[in-house]
Amino acid sequence: MTGGSGGGGGSRSGVKRRKKQHGSGELMIASMLDILMAVLFFLLKNYSTVVTDFSVGKDISLPYSSSLAPPTPSLQMVVTQQAIILDDKEIAPIVNGDIPKQFLHGDGLTITKLFQELRAQKEKTEYIQKKSDENNSFTGTIVMQADKNLNFNVLKKVIYTAGVSDFVMLKLAALKKDNG
Which residues of this protein are in contact with other proteins, per CB under 8 A?
A: 1, 4-5, 7-8, 29, 32-33, 36-37, 39-40, 43-44, 46-47, 49-52, 54-56, 62-72, 143, 146-153, 155-156, 159-160, 162-163, 168-177, 179
- Minimum CB separation of residue 129 from other proteins in Å reads 20
Q: Of 29 and 130, which CB lies nearer to other proteins in the complex structure?
A: 29
- Minimum CB separation of residue 104 from other proteins in Å reads 14
- Minimum CB separation of residue 62 from other proteins in Å reads 7
Residue 89 pairs in a beta bridge with 86
Q: Give the pairing of strands 89-93 and 83-86.
A: antiparallel
- Minimum CB separation of residue 130 from other proteins in Å reads 22
Q: Of 54 and 138, which CB lies nearer to other proteins in the complex structure?
A: 54
Phi and psi at residue 159, to the nearest 5°:
-65, -40
Q: Of 77 and 146, which CB lies nearer to other proteins in the complex structure?
A: 146
Decide: residue 39, CB within 10 A, 0-12 exposed, 13-18 middle, 19+ buried: exposed
Q: Of 77 and 162, which CB lies nearer to other proteins in the complex structure?
A: 162
- Minimum CB separation of residue 52 from other proteins in Å reads 5
Q: Which long-range contacts (CB under 8 A, 24 or more apart) does 116-122 make?
A: 117/86, 117/87, 117/89, 117/91, 118/86, 118/142, 118/161, 118/162, 118/165, 118/166, 118/167, 119/165, 121/75, 121/86, 121/87, 122/165, 122/166, 122/167
What type of residue sits at position 145? Q
Q: Of 36 and 127, which CB lies nearer to other proteins in the complex structure?
A: 36
Q: Of 55 and 127, which CB lies nearer to other proteins in the complex structure?
A: 55
Sequence-separated (6 or more) residues with CB below 8 Å from residue 128? none
- Minimum CB separation of residue 132 from other proteins in Å reads 25
Sequence-separated (6 or more) residues with CB below 8 Å from residue 32? none
